[in-house]
Chain A
Amino acid sequence: MSEEVLQQATPGLIPGSGTARAAKPTRLSPSFISWLQAGPMMLVFLAFFLIPLVFVVIVSFWDYNEYQLLPAFSGRGYTDTFEGCIAQLPDLCTIGKTYLKTLNLCFMVWAITLFIGFWVAYFLAFHVRSKTWQMGLSLLCTIPFWTSNVIRMIAWIPLLGRNGLVNSGLMKTGLINHPIEWLLFSEFSVVLALVHLFTFFMVVPIFNSMVRIDKSLIEAAYDAGATGFQTLVNVIIPLSKPGIVIGSIFVITIVMGDFITIGVMGGQQIAAAGKIIETRVNALQFPAAAANAVILLVITFLIITMMSRIVDIKREL
Chain B
Amino acid sequence: MTETTRTKGVSRRTLLKGTAGLAGLAAGSGAITGFPYVKSADAKVLRYLGTAVNEGDDIAKQCLKDTGIKLEYITATTDDVTKRVMTQPNSFDVLDTEYFSLKKIVPSGNILALDARKIKQFDNITPVFTKGETPGGKKIGGQGTAPWKVLYLEGKDSKKFATSATEFVTLIPTVYNADTLGIRPDLIKRPINSWSELLNPEFKGKASILNIPSIGIMDAAMVVEASGKYKYADKGNMTKEEIDLTMKVMTEAKKAGQFRAFWKDFNESVNLMASGETVIQSMWSPAVTKVRSMGIACTFQPLKEGYRSWASGFCVSKGVSGAKLEWAYEFVNWFLSGYAGAYLNRQGYYSAVLSTAKAHMEPYEWAYWMEGKPAEKDIKAPDGSLLEKAGAVRDGGSYEDRMGAVACWNAVMDENDYMVRKWNEFIAA
Contact = CB atoms under 8 A, between A and B. Distances in A.
3 closest A-B pairs by beta carbon, nearest first, are: A267-B261, A271-B428, A268-B262
Given A2-B8, A269-B261, A283-B213, A276 B275 contact: no
A61 B83 CA distance: 20
Contacts of A283: 79, 213-214, 416-417, 420
B32 interface: no
A288 B418 CA distance: 12
Interface of A: 2, 5-6, 9-10, 13, 15, 66-68, 80, 83, 94, 97-98, 101, 157-158, 161-164, 181, 184-185, 263, 266-271, 275-276, 279-285, 288
Given A161-B277, A162-B275, A66 B412 contact: yes
B275 A94 contact: no
Interface of B: 1-2, 5-6, 8-10, 13, 16, 79-80, 82-83, 86, 103-105, 107-108, 205, 211-214, 254, 259-264, 271, 275-277, 412, 416-417, 420-421, 423-425, 427-429
B1 A97 contact: no
A271 B211 CA distance: 12
Given A15-B16, A284-B83, A6 B261 contact: no
A101 B416 contact: no
Main secondary structure of the interface of B (DSSP, over half): helix
Given A5-B2, A163-B275, A66 B424 contact: no
A80 B205 CA distance: 32
A97 B429 contact: yes
Given A157-B271, A185-B261, A267-B262, A9 B6 contact: yes
Contacts of B262: 267-269
Contacts of B417: 66, 80, 283, 285, 288
18 contacts: A6-B2, A13-B10, A67-B107, A67-B108, A94-B428, A101-B428, A157-B275, A158-B275, A163-B276, A184-B277, A185-B260, A185-B277, A267-B262, A268-B264, A279-B213, A280-B420, A284-B83, A284-B86
Nearest to A4: B5
B107 A66 contact: yes
A20 to B, nearest CB: 14
B213 A271 contact: no
B205 A282 contact: no
B8 A67 contact: no
Given A98-B424, A157-B271, A267-B261, 4 more contacts: A80-B417, A268-B211, A271-B427, A284-B83
A285 to B, nearest CB: 6
A5 B6 CA distance: 9
Q: Considering residues B212, B275, B429, which has the most beta carbons from chain A within 10 angstroms of its beta carbon?
A: B275
A163 B213 CA distance: 29
A268 B1 CA distance: 59
Given A9-B2, A9-B6, A66-B104, A275 B260 contact: no
Contacts of A5: 1-2, 5
B275 A282 contact: no
Given A15-B16, A66-B103, A181-B205, A268 B108 contact: no
A121 B103 CA distance: 56
Contacts of B421: 80, 83, 94
B254 A269 contact: yes
Contact of A2 (B5, B10, B82, B107): B5
A158 B8 CA distance: 51
A279 to B, nearest CB: 6
A267 B254 CA distance: 12
